[in-house]
Structure 1
Amino acid sequence: MWNGYRVGGRLNSHLRKMYHIKIGLVLLLSWTNSAVGSIAQHDDSFQPDHILRVTAQDYTEACNTRYSVLVNGSSPGPELRLREGKVNWIRVYNDMKDENTTIHWHGLTAFTAPFSDGAPAASQWPISAGHFFDYEVKPEVGTAGTYFYHSHVGFQAVTAKGSLIVDSVNDLPYSYDEERTIMLSDFFNETDKTIIDGLTSSDFTWSGETNALLVNGKSRQATNSTGSCQLASISIEPGLTYRLRFIGATALSFISLAIESHNVSIIEADGHYTKSVHTSFLQIGSGQRYSVLLTAKSEDELEKAGKRHFYIQLTTLARPETLTNLAVLQYSGGTGANLTTVPSPPPLPVAKIAEGWLDYELESLSPIYEFPTLDEVTRRIIIEVHQNVSDHVIWLQNGYEWVESFPKSPYLVDIYTGKLNTEETYQRAISRGNGFDNITRTFPAQIGEVLEIVWQNEGTFTNGGLDVHPFHAHGRHFYDIGGGDGKYNATANEERLKSSRPILRDTSMLYRYRNETDPLAPSGWRAWRIKVTDAGVWMYHCHSLQHMIMGMQTVFIFGDRNEVIAQSAPVGVGYLTYGGSAYGNSTHSPVVRHFFT
């Protein structure tokens, strides 16, 4: 299968040898003399800290069996726990027969190990079938929090994913007795291939709406009259305080979530501690994460309630059809809930979308606060997004779609080999006035710039239709400076920020504010600010998988070629060719750069 790349990397052997020699001679001197990191062969004596094996097979969820991509044989895959400041080597095997894969560490930064970001066509060649890749992951000190990992190829992330928790080296700002991880995801009846073919074909076929919402891989709907599938159960003890880590790992669904007879306090968003915010519900888009504190009921309160289980109710938002699913918050003692019986009607009112939920309200808890003001902004980039119909249905950013197959090789590889001229790319983008280089389809920026990035929602070119979009940034997190209806107004928004303390995020929601408007009319915006401090190639994209496949992605290039290479180190040719020696297989061990050690 192509996925935008040559199957198996089978170049003509003579040409491949010549290419290796040419690139190797260019990079050898600086590579071997580099003071950053070291080169090592990961032979049988090397022991990775974690091993993930990616397979494709029939798998049963929500009372249905579907051919799915799995991690270590399940969905979600195993939870990984890393520690701030500690280097982790995570080996990812691609055990599939005809598919590429990668793993992206969603929300974690990869500044000094750029080939470990897991974004194919942007920062690394994908892992071809029968190969493995050793990812070097070192969470920065100060980034303890809730993350997850997932494949970044095609539609694989609908099932190929798992939770990732970064533990702190310092005392926590909030105290609690225990914690629980709650991963939210979607189920689709059709296979990944069928969905991709339908979305990219000139005979456009929609994937269909989410068939089930899953909690930690489990779901049962009121319509399931047969089958052994069950609702997920989250077990707790009376009187204790719990940290609930919610992970929005959905493909499409924007979810409202509430817990029957319980309120919670938000303490973390996207890996950053916040001032405590009391709330009766959460809104979680694909890619977003929140930690909340929940105080469990006492035995006296449970006796008065007359029950020991309470429903967690999930409702999809901003979709043509509303889907409501449930999980169970189960107190110990007594008779447990019947997990194969789904109450109808649901115990809570069906939720409605709250546009701008907690915008300007969530505030950073960090004592180190370096939020750039409007006066410090050196350049504003407006990214206009809308759907278009040409020979197929696509999502455009500033008039262009971006898909994995567009660049013939990853941008980071082209920068290392000198194929992509970062200076020319930057000058073209500046001359166009909107910061976008339509030749490479990238947004370049220089180190030291302070960017204000505005995602501007517009009506579909044909009928004015609108959608919501959870936009996610790889690399350094951004300050989310809010959103609103209509067209972005910097002066008006700056007034709102005077009474706010924006927080760092890596994923935030672009709302639509109405179902449709005039074609290309502005209807909703989301704005970020970021100081460009780390060179590299970073994906910025909608995290709805269907929208990504239909072109709703782009790439930011921070820094010039020298700065990109200096940020980490020169690398050998094994990273710069598909199936190169940095990727191991059954016949050879990989030759790997240790960026941190």
Structure 2
Amino acid sequence: MLRCFPTTRGLLPLFCSILGLAISAQAHLYRHDESFQPDHILRVTAQNYSQACMDRYSVLVNGTSPGPELRLQEGKVSWIRVYNDMEDSNVTMHWHGLSAFAAPFSDGTPMASQWPIAPGHFFDAEVRPEIGYAGTYFYHSHVGFQAVTAVGSLVVEPAQPSPYEYDEERIILLSDYFAKTDKEVEEGLLSSNFTWSGETGAVLVNGQGRLATNATGACSLAAIEVEPGKTYRLRFIGATALSFVSLAIENHDAFEIIEADGHYTKPAKTDYLQISTGQRYSVLLKTKTEAELQEAKSRQFYFQLTTLGRPAVLTTFAVLEYPSPTATDLKTVPSPPPLPIANVTYGWMDYALEPYYPNTDFPTAAEVTRRIIINVHQNISSHTVWLQSGYDWMETFPKSPYLVDLYKGELDLAASYQRAMESGDGFDNQTRLYPAQINEVLEIVWQNQGAVNNGGLENHPFHGHGRHFYDIGGGDGLFDPVENEKRLNGTHPVARDTSVLYSYRKKTTALAPSGWRAWRVRVTNAGVWMMHCHILQHMVMGMQTVFAFGDQEAVMAQSGSIDGGYLVYGGSAYGNSTYNPLVQHFF
């Protein structure tokens, strides 16, 4: 029987008659009292914190940035309790790359899939990575600019042995440093007197780094410790806010990519990586033997990181450290840099990476039921915004989350779908949704255009929530499906969750096409899913879209009945210091 419960914070509306429609499973409600022990606990605070030898008021996870490393198991449910210990800010936690494998209200996208966690409250997220998704992920807040520091690594351990052998692994999480606080950045970006955040002050490695690149200072570079003659799996995580990074290691020119965004790939050799915010790669690195180290006359080598596609080039460093009888120098940065300063490689690894296991689910062109072209550009009117199909999307647009409205019977997806079909571009401008029906096969094309006011262009790493998409490539100019199908012939696209829409030039004429990125998505996971540029500044300025997969019946049938405690801000599904939450167990 479906149950709706009052809370200590007011009586919930009785949604039972609405929620009882098309329910395929009974509710499984449990009181998460003192007897319940979550697998992981994340406590979010806001406080002064030192990075790059600079103090900044920042949102932290368990008192640090990055927060603690999480390890989950394929096929196993993990409960992650997220406390919002801030006094005046909401928070969510998004499991980047694992969106569809969380319970429906655990995706962490405020005002799309769920209410945010109110100050002084906590939320128990239920996450079950599916078999076949062992790999490298991360978690971060999805509220405003908080993810610049409220971030941490997440690794999904395989149920079966890895197809690749290696001795040890290391996590290398890249993040940005900004001197302005989150509040200052957001207010400047959203103001009618637009104020840019400023460029990245430093690209940090595992939270460490320096602002200055050509001097000795008190702030240490990050050290990645390795031993001679071993094979390491280096898990690179692009948790930057803005930076698109080219990365290489001095005197180590034999990377072998084995994973992209949580999926094993066939080995692909490269001497450098391009990592945009949201992307992850695992590479195998064979360290130097003792004899090679003696020949090199060095036991430390520099990681060189260069920002790409920005007005000013920033080059920063970390250290690959071998055991040494003397202390490693983590204070000095090389001048000049040991490696050439990198430029953007447009289409890096496009059409080249292949899945390790056959992608038997890859939709062919003949299976595509609908192509959605999303034109993206900047516009300046009363505010500076990023538009998709002529509209921005911000957390302030819907009065309550789409998924909540759907369960309350206040969002008519059938009517939204009809409007989207009549629009000609698949977009419903009333709800600002891209609705799709279960079993459709979508070809989603992100088309870069010159800014309305000055023709300016930027690179955009687009991230899809929900199940991973098949990246079918990118190119300059206007998307041509016939020509791209020719390029796809004989290739084996990989499943990704983040890929780069390149600009190919700094400026063009207003609204002129200059670069595209295309995905194929088989619509199987009913729900409300964000698809957005992962540059935090662009997200704040509206560069987000929302897809609704399936109708009310499909969404409800997939999740079963929903307790009313999820449907109000601060409802009974959210605990606090005096109240144990009533939590739905979906798996």
Q: TM-score, normalised to structure 2's length? A: 0.97
Displacement of 1:336 after TM fit? Answer: 3.5
Equivalent-residue separation in structure 1 for 2:141 and 2:97 (angstroms): 14
Structural RMSD (CA):
1.6
2:122 aligns with: 132
How far off its partner does 1:577 sit? 0.1
- Report whether the alignment pairs 1:416 with 2:387: no
Q: Which moved more, 1:334-343 or 1:193-202?
A: 334-343
Alignment of 1:40-51 (within 5 A): 40-51=30-41
2:500 is aligned with 1:509: yes
Distance 1:213 1:272 in 2: 26
Residue-by-residue CA offset, 1:89-133 (whole Å, 9 max, x unaligned)? 000000000000000000013356110100001101000000000
The answer to whether the Cα contact below 8 Å between 2:232 and 2:287 also exists between their aligned partners in 1 is yes
- 1:466-477 to structure 2, matched below 5 A, reads 466-477=457-468
2:14 to 22, 33, 48: 22
Give the equivalent residue in structure 2 for 1:152: 142
**Partner Cα distance (2:508, 2:420) in 1:** 30
Whether contact under 8 Å (1:63, 1:227) holds in the other structure is no
Residue of 82, 91, 95 corresponding to 2:85: 95
Does 2:275 align with 1:284? Answer: yes
Counterpart CA distance in 2 for 1:119 and 1:63 is: 32
SS of 1:133's equivalent? strand
Counterpart position of 1:170: 160
1:563 to 541, 554, 570: 554
* Aligned-pair CA distance for 1:21: 3.4
DSSP 3-state at the match of 1:384: strand
- The answer for the alignment partner of 1:86 in structure 2 is 76
Cα shift at 1:22:
3.1
Size of the aligned set, in residue pairs, is: 580
Shift of 1:587: 1.1
Q: Which one of the candidate residues 416, 421, 435 is aligned to 1:425?
A: 416
1:5 aligned partner:
none
Tell me the amino acid that sits aligned with residue 66 of structure 1: R
Q: Which amino acid aligns with 1:448?
A: N
How many Å separate the matches in 1 of 2:506 and 2:565?
49
Identity in percent: 66
Q: How far did residue 499 of structure 1 move?
A: 2.2
Distance of 2:341 and 2:216 partners within structure 1: 25
Cα displacement string for residues 210-237 of structure 1 (whole angstroms, at most 9, x for unaligned residues): 0011000000244686863210000000
Alignment equivalent of 1:207, drawn from 178, 197, 204: 197
Deviations 1:464-506 (A, max 9, x none): 1000000000011000000000000000000000021100000
Partners of 2:554 and 2:309 lie apart in 1 by 42
> C-alpha separation between the residues in 1 aligned to 2:430 and 2:120?
34
CA contact (8 A) 2:101 2:130 kept: no
Residue 322 (structure 1) aligned with residue 313 (structure 2):
yes
Please name the residue that 1:268 is paired with.
259
Structure 1 residue aligned with 2:453: 462
Is residue 541 from structure 1 mapped to residue 532 from structure 2 by the alignment?
Answer: yes
SS at match of 1:453: strand
Does the CA-based 8 Å contact 1:244-1:293 persist in structure 2?
yes
SS in 2 for 1:566: helix
Could you say what secondary structure the match of 1:22 adopts?
coil
Which residue of the partner structure matches residue 365 of structure 1? Answer: 356
Q: Secondary structure at the match of 2:220?
A: coil
1:396-411 → structure 2 map (5 Å cutoff): 396-411=387-402
Distance in 2 (alpha carbons) for counterparts of 1:591 and 1:413: 17
Confirm whether residue 65 of structure 1 aligns to residue 55 of structure 2.
yes
- Whether the 8 Å contact between 1:109 and 1:139 is mirrored in structure 2 is no
Q: Which runs of 5+ in 2 are unaligned?
A: 1-6
SS in 1 for 2:100: coil
1:313 to 304, 314, 317: 304
Report Cα offsets for 1:444-472 as digits up to 9, x if no partner.
Answer: 00001000000000000011100000000
State the one-letter code of the partner of 2:224.
I
How much has 1:281 moved relative to structure 2? 0.3
State the Cα distance separating 1:337 from its structure 2 match. 2.4
Q: Secondary structure at the match of 2:431?
A: coil
- Partner of 1:245 in structure 2? 235
- Conservation of the 8 A alpha-carbon contact between 1:220 and 1:342: no
What is the letter of the counterpart of residue 273 of structure 2?
A: L
Q: Helix, strand or coil: the match of 1:423?
A: helix
Q: Aligned-pair distance for 1:346?
A: 1.2
Secondary structure of the residue aligned to 2:99 is coil
C-alpha contact (below 8 Å) 1:270/1:289 kept by paired residues: yes
CA deviation map 1:502-540 (0-9, x unaligned): 000000000000110010000000000011011000000
Task: Note if contact 2:379-2:385 (Cα within 8 Å) is conserved in structure 1.
Answer: yes
> How far did 1:569 drift?
1.5
* Secondary structure, aligned partner of 1:110: helix
The aligned amino acid for 1:385 is V
Asked whether the equivalents of residues 309 and 336 of structure 1 are also in contact (C-alpha less than 8 Å), the reply is no
Residues 399 and 30 of structure 1: is their aligned pair in 2 closer, same or farther, counting only changes over 3 Å? closer
The TM-score, its normalising length taken from structure 1, stands at 0.95
Pairs within 5 Å for 1:170-209: 170-209=160-199
Matching residue's letter, 1:364: P
Partners of 1:70 and 1:77 within 8 A in 2: yes
Return the alpha-carbon distance in structure 2 between the equivalents of residues 511 and 378 of structure 1: 26
2:34 is paired with a residue whose SS is coil
Choose the corresponding residue for 1:439, options 406, 430, 444: 430
- Deviations along 1:136-195, whole A, 9 cap, x unmatched? 000001100000000000000000010000000112111000000000000000000000
Match of 1:525 among 516, 519, 530: 516
Q: Is the 8 A contact 1:112 1:595 kept in 2?
A: no
* SS of residue matched to 2:483: helix
Q: One-letter code of the match for 2:340?
A: P
Which whole-Å CA distance do the structure 2 matches of 1:21 and 1:285 have between them?
44
Distance 1:113 1:257 in 2: 36
- Aligned equivalents of 1:352, 1:334: Cα separation in 2: 37
Contact kept? 1:110, 1:116, Cα under 8 Å: no
Using the TM superposition, give the Cα deviation of residue 25 of structure 1 relative to its aligned residue in structure 2, in angstroms. 5.1
**CA deviation map 1:530-570 (0-9, x unaligned):** 11011000000000000000000010000000101111112
Name stretches of at least 5 consecutive residues in structure 1 with no aligned partner.
1-10
Indicate conservation of the 8 Å contact 2:461/2:501, yes or no.
yes
Q: Distance in 2 between matches of 1:308 and 1:370?
A: 46
Q: Which residue of 2 aligns with 1:4?
A: none
Residue identity in the other structure for 1:307: S
Which letter does structure 2 place at the counterpart of 1:565? M
User: For the residues of structure 1 that align with 2:499 and 2:307, how far apart are their CA atoms?
Assistant: 17
Aligned-residue offset at 1:366: 1.1
Tell me, yes or no, if the aligned pair for 2:216 and 2:331 is still in contact at 8 Å.
no
* In 2, Cα distance between equivalents of 1:26 and 1:362: 47
**Distance apart, 1:335 and its partner CA:** 2.3
Call closer, same or farther: CA 1:592–1:24 in 2, change over 3 Å: same
Partner AA of 1:460 in structure 2: A
Q: Secondary structure at the match of 2:306?
A: strand
